Amino acid sequence: MDYMKLETINPATGKLVKSYKEISAESLMQILEKSHHAYLEWRMLFHYTRAKYFKKLSQVLAEEKSNLAEMISIEMGKPLVQATAEVDKCIVLSEYYATNGPLFLEDKKIATEARSSYVTYQPLGIILGIMPWNFPLWQVLRFAIPTIMAGNSVILKHSPNVCGVALLIEELFHKSGFPDGVFKTVLIDVPQVESIIANNYVHGVSLTGSEAAGRSVAALAGKYLKKVILELGGSDPYIVFHDADIEKSVETCVTSRMINCGQTCISAKRFLVDEKIVKPFTELFVEKMKQYVLEDSSAKSSIGPMARKDLRDSLHLQVEQSLEKGAKVLLGGKKPVSDGYFYPPTVIGDAKPGMKVWDEETFGPVAAITSFTTEMEALRIAMDTPYGLGAALFSEDLERMEKLAKFKVMAGSVFINDYVRSDPRLPFGGIKASGFGRELSNYGLLEFVNVKTIYIK
């Protein structure tokens, strides 16, 4: 077998940062063997004993914050201030499960005619995590922390453009005192993934990535009868009604669209605005988008480059093809000529179904705006999508918005007068082409466990 050379390219300069050699199939099997034996010991620890390791992990994350943020920024282009915020969020995550994980895992008594009957939550074994580059620390720990807290061990196959971050994550677990093998990073490319999923020591796989990757991994999980969790793409609709606070709504919508240079599955992507307020909303939206400055990944940068050249070029093609169908550029829309992979904040007006920027996920700083006349029309257009990750509603009529969110909007999360985001306390995941299963909260913790019934007559 020919093994790949994995390369990290600095997206701000287009220059090579470092090359990594893919590990061999033999080395991979040795790692799986080691991870399995680590699991056999780790699973026997009391929940509260495991929790102490995560308390230490939060401390190590704080100590290594600057190193982690710098590596994140260099490898995928996130401005340092945003990379630092990502580390901070992971600290909160680790502390959350250190405190609440043992409570979530306590046996649950169920009243029956038996002397005793209850449910106990037992770990499964090795769980494979296939993770993306856009939040290279958060996405991994969002999956790994609850999975390991439940008593499993984890193998990480990270995106090849963030190998440095992947190796630092393994070092975090080592410095926190976790038994060797409980968390392992493997530097491999796609062809070796099937051998991991097929391995008898591996009992589940969690993927965050594209719809195409999700379909491929789901097929492999089905082939080998392994539990799978998929967190895929989104084309989140944000519906702004006529009674919304325009200034606050615009601020929230723009913030959501521009987080991580728009490279976020749950960022706002399609904006449906009541025709009564679409003109002032759009004018203010454009003004707010103009405030984002294209720079490198320095601490003062408001928007960094996109992570890869092919991603930037694909986004620009979506814009160009939409213009050919009648969309209007209200801001940006031109690919910069530079060594880095920058793309300007772009606002597209007169967006409609049938246009690329409306029908497909736009993974970058491009916002598509359209108007509606009735609530029924807004919901019809918003829900006419294969995706179902998140959505947001803006209105002063909270009672009506809550009814719409609960019964009419088909998505994994619906936020009212705020932008969609993940929170350790709340379950996170989508429906339809956005995937299935949940991460975070007690729901995410229990995805990779055997919900075992004990019955004593």
User: Which pLDDT score is estimated for 299?
Assistant: 45
Per-residue pLDDT tens over the stretch 200-239: 999 999 999 999 999 999 999 999 999 999 999 999 999 9
In this prediction, residues 259-267 reach a mean pLDDT of 95
The CATH code that applies to domain 5-232+432-456 is 3.40.605.10
Who contacts 10 (Cβ-Cβ below 8 Å, separation ≥6)? 16, 17, 74, 75, 77, 340
CA distance 8 to 3: 16
- pLDDT of residue 287 exceeding 60: yes
Q: Report the alpha-carbon distance of residue 261 to residue 301 in Å, rounded.
A: 11
User: pLDDT over 70 for what percent of the chain?
Assistant: 98
CA triple 343-345-351, angle to 5 deg: 110
Phi, psi of 183 (to 5 degrees): -130, 125
Please name the residues in contact with 286: beta carbons below 8 A apart, sequence gap of 6 or more.
330, 331, 347
pLDDT category of residue 335 using cuts at 50, 70 and 90: confident
Confidence of residue 339 (pLDDT cuts 50, 70, 90): confident
Summarize the confidence of residues 316-327 as an average pLDDT. Answer: 97
Residue 297 near residue 80 (C-beta atoms within 8 A): yes
pLDDT at 295: 66
In the predicted structure, residue 301 carries a pLDDT above the cut 80: no
User: Domain 236-416 belongs to what topology?
Assistant: Aldehyde Dehydrogenase; Chain A, domain 2 (3.40.309)
Give the distance from CA 322 to its chain's centroid. Answer: 27
Domain boundaries, the chain: 5-232+432-456, 236-416
Q: Is the pLDDT of residue 298 over 80?
A: no
Give the pLDDT score at 296.
Answer: 53
Q: Beta strands 227-231 and 390-394: pairing type? A: unpaired
pLDDT digits (tens, 9 = 90+) for 33-68: 999 999 999 999 999 999 999 999 999 999 999 999
Whether pLDDT at 426 is above 80: yes
Q: What is the pLDDT of residues 141-179, one digit of tens each?
A: 999 999 999 999 999 999 999 999 999 999 999 999 999
Please check the confidence at residue 297 and state whether its pLDDT lies above 80. Answer: no
- Give the integer Cα–Cα distance in Å for 322 and 44: 56
- pLDDT-derived band at 311, boundaries 50, 70, 90: very high
Nearest CA among 235, 236, 240 for reference residue 375:
240
pLDDT of residue 55: 98
Rounded to whole angstroms, the Cα distance separating 156 from 171 reads: 13
Counting every residue, how long is the chain?
Answer: 457
Are 412 and 390 in contact by the 8 Å Cβ rule? The answer is yes
Mean pLDDT of 108-124: 98
> Tokens 């799986």 appear where?
32
The pLDDT of residue 4 is above 90: no
Would you say residue 3 has pLDDT above 90? Answer: no
Mean pLDDT of the chain: 96
Give the pLDDT score at 165: 98
Provide mean pLDDT across the span 168-194.
Answer: 97
Instruction: State how far the alpha carbon of 86 is from the alpha carbons of 70, 264, 368, 428, in Å.
Output: 12, 13, 27, 17
- Spell out the residues 6+ positions from residue 156 whose beta carbon is closer than 8 angstroms to its own: 129, 131, 140, 144, 166, 169, 170, 183, 184, 185, 186
Active centre residues (catalytic): 231, 265
Decide if pLDDT at 356 tops 60.
Answer: yes
Asked if the model's pLDDT at residue 300 lies above 90, the reply is: no
